Amino acid sequence: MGAKYTDAQKNASMKYLGEKTDSIQIRTPKGTKERWREAATAAGTSLNRYIMDAVEEKIEKHPK
């Protein structure tokens, strides 16, 4: 049986996420998420990383 996820671990994770990360929610037309996920998988990365890389690439191409 796998190790138990303790309350202390949960609290530490929540604290880290609150201090070190921002959360962004986007809404897309139905089917977009799956299409993006398939592209990310084909690129060998997570959907989150795939989206972050795409945004950063766009910013680099069109700086202020």
**Residue 5: band (very low, low, confident or very high) from pLDDT cuts 50, 70, 90:** confident
Q: Is the pTM of this model over 0.85?
A: no
Tell me the pLDDT tens digit for each residue of 18-33: 999 999 999 999 999 9
Contact (Cβ atoms closer than 8 angstroms) between residue 50 and residue 34: no
Domain boundaries, the chain: 27-64
Q: Distance (Å, rounded) from C-alpha 45 to C-alpha 64?
A: 28
Handedness of CA 9, 41, 39, 44 (dihedral sign): positive
At residue 1, the pLDDT reads: 55
Location of structure tokens 């799956």: 34
At residue 2, the pLDDT reads: 62
Question: What number is the average pLDDT over the span 52-64?
Answer: 93
Question: What number is the average pLDDT over the span 3-32?
Answer: 94
Location of structure tokens 């989150």: 48
* DSSP letter, residue 44: T
